[in-house]
Structure 1
């Protein structure tokens, strides 16, 4: 179509589908980039480019050829550097390359936040086991070891006994692209995420999400609920902390996803992504609970359109992931067709029958989920639990 605006979307996997679908719904010509030729987004994109989203040089070369009017990624961290590089080269509305680097390197992120006196855990950046052994002596309590530049709970290890230092280091190191590892204070307390949108340097908090994890040692996210049930006075602290951190990191445009733990000393930043939150939070839960389509507003911002947020709805939404174990997934049965139950918005199995599944050690190993909407977070959560109980997994044990 003559004059049709083009948007380049880095990633064509399942997490990027909402961006591709919304962009097409907005009448845009979609250019999807992914290294996986089987990426589902390629089926709906107008143009498909087979490249790694972190291959800055070659993606930038392609962007220079196709001249997109906007570039975004949704729920992945490392493509943010590529987005910023394209934005700076073509004069598009993105964060800067400097901000992208800080937001995708946990060590640099913590250093910048510390510079602005933002509450963060005690931390150290190391690259070998000997350094870890020395740093471990500085902690009187348990501590976390994790890669400096990965996401989705990959490589996280809680050290409760220093006899496990070698295992912790290997687990984190093998998930680190740079080879650097973060060693940080183990923060105890409820964990939340904060979904925000920054427009011309002004940040609006869209939602605070309560998080459920698998606990020690890997802390895989197994559920989220909006709105948060944290006391309102703590929520006020969380909002102010989030806005201060976003400003400190230089995020002056677009979405951000901030993870916070409410410790006995008050809320502390875990990390911030200069992107929309994953786990269906911003693509599904936020619009169900607040009526705000963050994907649409993110695209509009990237196109340099004027954006005015609407009044927020006062509903609730929740997601719960299905537990699994080692084996072969033979079949999935449901005692009740919960897809037709009022309030259940989606029941999805992300693994195929005959596929090998495992005990969950990172978010990519989860096998499915249930999403619900209700008037209160308690009702949304209870509906999720009922739906989960109806799902029967036939797993062939291969231990």
Structure 2
């Protein structure tokens, strides 16, 4: 029997688990990526260098290889492309219009607003001419962000109009469409909801609290999945998540959503039709829920049946982020000792020796993180902090090592 050929968009480090898993399930794999040297090329059966945001070029590659399925489950930038190619070739997919609902924050706001959810006050701006009027209608404090990017790139929080023009230009610089979203700040507790939709029925796989840095409130210092029996606010969180994915039209597939609990309201902030980053998708969700969402997405793309049955009482997980002062990294010490701490699932540095640490402007500027897994909330935080305390970094020609923050 001919093995199915799956086309995976992206060939970087975050796609490696998907490529490995697809091959272990007996599939052949084609990967495509914009860059000529990517780690997944060596694992895949075939690879092509092509921009995964380019719909027609990706379709041409997929057609030439006669693929049996396509997926982009680890990065926003290829979600719409995968949906477009699947639609054109009659393969399983969410549909191109649905993919746009999840990758364009302007559409996202409009659809959740129409769906009856509580959303921030918002305006869409595509030129500097209407900037001040839009900000006045929304009122300060407010958030300025690109409608079609990820990881907090180009996002600013403004208390007043002093830096409005600069914030707009920063957001526009990261917006592929050139459109910028201006929305009111919603105060409250930030949460993440991970789940999976099967035939229009969403199931919750995990709920986490986000703890922001005090001086950079748009960037988290910790993502904590407490585990244990659902809390008193679980039902309204689950309801808001289900209503959000329904409003955006997702019938099958994984989702990763961010909300703010503001009093009695659960306000949707952002939602992606892909797995969560920083190993949430590959390590955390399978452990806490008992559901390997990565495996289910591969089976979905291959046209196979799936079954999502999370365990009734979730386990705990904690992602502790690493922060360093600006400068060049000259030495990293203690990773092996930290990784040996029982309960540590992974330690990852985005930057290596000789690379520069910049200002913490968005999520991708965090130097790295520690992932811990355990049965209880207190235990998992202790494990993460113990491992983190064993790591130190020397910057430039500093005489002393910096313990990581």
| TM-score, length basis structure 2 | 0.93
Change (3 A) 1:86 1:392: same
**Secondary structure in 2 aligned to 1:248?**
helix
**Does 14-23 or 215-224 show the bigger shift?**
215-224
How far is the alpha carbon of 1:231 from its aligned partner?
7.3
| 2:125 is the counterpart of 1:152 | no
How far is the alpha carbon of 1:238 from its aligned partner?
0.9
| 2:235 is the counterpart of 1:236 | yes
Distance (whole Å) between structure 2 residues aligned to residue 353 and residue 331 of structure 1: 6
Distance (whole Å) between structure 2 residues aligned to residue 125 and residue 215 of structure 1: 28
How far is the alpha carbon of 1:229 from its aligned partner?
8.6
Change (3 A) 1:314 1:115: closer
**Does 12-21 or 126-135 show the bigger shift?**
126-135
Residue 403 of structure 2 corresponds to which residue in structure 1?
none
Change (3 A) 1:248 1:335: closer
| Stretches of 4+ aligned residues off by more than 4 angstroms | 215-218, 228-231
Residue 352 of structure 1 corresponds to which residue in structure 2?
352
Distance (whole Å) between structure 2 residues aligned to residue 286 and residue 225 of structure 1: 12
How far is the alpha carbon of 1:288 from its aligned partner?
2.1
Change (3 A) 1:285 1:334: same
How far is the alpha carbon of 1:180 from its aligned partner?
0.7
Residue 387 of structure 1 corresponds to which residue in structure 2?
387
How far is the alpha carbon of 1:208 from its aligned partner?
1.0
Change (3 A) 1:147 1:218: farther
Residue 281 of structure 2 corresponds to which residue in structure 1?
282
How far is the alpha carbon of 1:48 from its aligned partner?
0.7
Change (3 A) 1:311 1:75: closer
| TM-score, length basis structure 1 | 0.94
Distance (whole Å) between structure 1 residues aligned to residue 117 and residue 277 of structure 2: 24
**Unpaired segments of 5 or more residues in structure 1?**
none
Residue 328 of structure 1 corresponds to which residue in structure 2?
328
Contact 1:336/1:390 (8 A) holds in 2 = no
Residue 341 of structure 2 corresponds to which residue in structure 1?
341
**Secondary structure in 2 aligned to 1:82?**
helix
Change (3 A) 1:286 1:256: same
**Secondary structure in 1 aligned to 2:174?**
coil
Residue 85 of structure 1 corresponds to which residue in structure 2?
84
How far is the alpha carbon of 1:348 from its aligned partner?
2.3
How far is the alpha carbon of 1:12 from its aligned partner?
0.8
Matches within 5 A, 1:10-29: 10-29=9-28
Contact 1:158/1:217 (8 A) holds in 2 = no
Contact 2:283/2:345 (8 A) holds in 1 = no
Residue 103 of structure 1 corresponds to which residue in structure 2?
102
Distance (whole Å) between structure 1 residues aligned to residue 168 and residue 138 of structure 2: 16
**Can you list the C-alpha shifts for 1:340-377, whole angstroms capped at 9, x where unaligned?**
11111222223121112212212222222111111112
Distance (whole Å) between structure 2 residues aligned to residue 230 and residue 122 of structure 1: 34
Matches within 5 A, 1:246-325: 246-312=245-311, 314-325=314-325
Distance (whole Å) between structure 2 residues aligned to residue 144 and residue 228 of structure 1: 31
**Secondary structure in 1 aligned to 2:168?**
helix
Distance (whole Å) between structure 2 residues aligned to residue 240 and residue 192 of structure 1: 14
**Secondary structure in 2 aligned to 1:149?**
coil
Matches within 5 A, 1:27-46: 27-46=26-45
Aligned residues: 397
Distance (whole Å) between structure 1 residues aligned to residue 62 and residue 273 of structure 2: 21
How far is the alpha carbon of 1:230 from its aligned partner?
11
